[in-house]
């Protein structure tokens, strides 16, 4: 079951739960989960170690850096006792911004999986940070995992926010 579409969907659903928790408190609904990459094809999903779960908390913490990915990277580093996250997979509901993409590169995360791309502000789509030739690490990227669910969560959040502002 290693790294199949079903495998990725399972962990993206966990990230979507985190995104839902963000939306419930008025944060932009982005969620992130970091797992230890399985070392064998026969490892059941339940045996895969989740190192971090986080959601956006910029409003809650009054901190511009409190994005889901940044918080999850810190948690995963603490869980592993190392800033190098070389045996991990990062799942995030929305393409990482430039700040988060830079942190992902610095942390040496080898696999980044996201739900919905951000063609206006994405750290990869716009700035090519995750595959920039001038950087010493370039993770593999898998896009569009549960894209419709991730997109719907974002659209619903902003639709409700606009309706409240009227």
Question: Which of 158, 77, 67, 161 has its CA nearest to residue 114?
Answer: 67
From start to end of the chain, where are the E strands? 31-36, 50-55, 88-94, 111-116, 140-142
* Contact of 132 with 104, CB cutoff 8 Å: no
**Which residues are identified as catalytic?**
69
The SS3 assignment for 156 reads helix
């Amino acid at each position: 079951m290693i790294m199949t579409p079903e495998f990725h969907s399972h962990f993206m659903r966990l990230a979507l739960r985190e995104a839902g928790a963000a939306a419930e408190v008025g944060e932009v609904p982005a969620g992130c989960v970091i797992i230890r990459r399985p070392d064998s094809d026969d490892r059941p999903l339940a045996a895969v170690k989740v190192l971090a779960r986080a959601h956006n908390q910029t409003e809650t913490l009054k901190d511009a850096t409190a994005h889901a990915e940044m918080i999850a990277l810190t948690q995963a580093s603490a869980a592993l006792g190392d800033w190098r996250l070389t045996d991990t997979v990062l799942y995030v509901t929305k393409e990482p911004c430039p700040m988060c993409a830079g942190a992902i590169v610095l942390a040496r995360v080898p696999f980044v999986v996201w739900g919905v791309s951000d063609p206006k502000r994405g750290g990869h789509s716009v700035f090519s940070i995750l595959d920039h030739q001038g950087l010493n690490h370039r993770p593999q990227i898998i896009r569009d995992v549960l894209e419709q669910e991730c997109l719907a969560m974002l659209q619903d959040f902003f639709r409700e926010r606009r309706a409240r502002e009227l």
